């Protein structure tokens, strides 16, 4: 017997854990199930309230009819007494007693049904408010969950980028960069070994050409300055008037 109890508890625990995991992975379904359950209870409560209201209205009509019958029986008793009809008067008095008892019973039942109807109305309003609040909570909590999940994905992505171990694509990119650098270096080395003398001669020609151009510019500047300076005569010389 204890073995069966333990086995039942174990199965219940496993199923409960599995169900809890499923619920955590699909919170929207859990909210919908709760809303559906409350909506079903609301529908049953509304049917019960409708039945109570129907019975209350029916008892109200019976109460009005009993009051009218009681009033008529009082008049009939007076008429029987006026005629000295004791047998009819006795019958009518007994009938009046029954009508009075019915009237008291109906009045009591009507008061009880009225109380139950008011309670049912309050419960309907509370259930409707609860369902509406649950719908709003679902929207709000699912939005918060989506926000938290997005932030968690971003945090995981940032942690992955900041990790010390490069991913496979980063390693491949570094290998490609290294290969490109080696290839460019090989081409540059080949150019330097094959045409190094020609490049040196061309550089020398360009340097000499630049030097000649600079010297020519220097001479031109000197000539320009000499033309602007006043003429200075040597000592002992005189200017011959023309």
- pTM of the shown model: 0.47
The owner of tokens 């508890």 is 9
Per the prediction, the chain carries an average pLDDT of 78
Delimit the domains of the chain by residue range. Answer: 2-161, 169-225
pLDDT in tens, 158-207: 776 555 455 666 777 777 778 788 888 776 655 555 555 677 777 788 88
Residue-wise pLDDT tens digits, 37-93: 989 989 988 998 898 889 989 999 989 998 998 888 888 888 888 888 888 888 888
Across 68-194, the runs of DSSP E, i.e. the strands, are none
CA nearest neighbour of 41 among 123, 136, 137: 123
3-state secondary structure 112-131: HHHHHHHHHHHHHHHHHHHH
Q: DSSP letter for 147, please.
A: H
Q: At what angle do helices 2-25 and 27-82 cross, to 10 degrees?
A: 100
Superfamily of domain 2-161: Helix Hairpins (1.10.287.620)
Compute the distance between CA of residue 127 and CA of residue 157 in angstroms, rounded to an integer: 44
Residue 84, helix vs strand vs coil: coil
């Amino acid at each position: 017997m204890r073995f069966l109890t333990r086995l039942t508890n174990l199965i219940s625990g496993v199923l409960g854990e599995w169900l809890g995991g499923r619920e955590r992975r699909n919170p929207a379904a859990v909210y919908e199930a709760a809303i559906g359950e409350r909506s079903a209870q609301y529908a049953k409560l509304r049917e019960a309230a409708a039945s109570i209201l129907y019975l209350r209205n029916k008892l109200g009509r019976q109460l009005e009819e009993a009051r009218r019958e009681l009033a008529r029986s009082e008049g009939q008793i007076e008429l029987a007494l006026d005629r000295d009809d004791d047998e009819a008067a006795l019958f009518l008095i007994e009938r009046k007693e029954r009508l009075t008892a019915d009237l008291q019973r109906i009045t009591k039942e009507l008061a009880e049904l009225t109380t139950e109807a008011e309670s049912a109305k309050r419960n309907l309003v509370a259930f409707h408010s609860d369902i509406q609040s649950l719908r709003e909570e679902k929207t709000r909590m699912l939005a918060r969950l989506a926000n938290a999940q997005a932030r968690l994905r971003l945090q995981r992505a940032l942690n992955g980028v900041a990790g010390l171990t490069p991913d496979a694509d980063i390693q491949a990119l570094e290998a490609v960069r290294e290969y490109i650098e080696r290839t460019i270096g090989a081409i540059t080395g080949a150019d330097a070994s094959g045409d190094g003398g020609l490049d040196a001669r061309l550089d020398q020609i360009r340097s000499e050409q630049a030097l000649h151009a600079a010297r020519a510019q220097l001479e031109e500047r000197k000539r320009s300055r000499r033309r602007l300076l006043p003429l200075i005569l040597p000592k002992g010389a005189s200017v011959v008037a023309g």
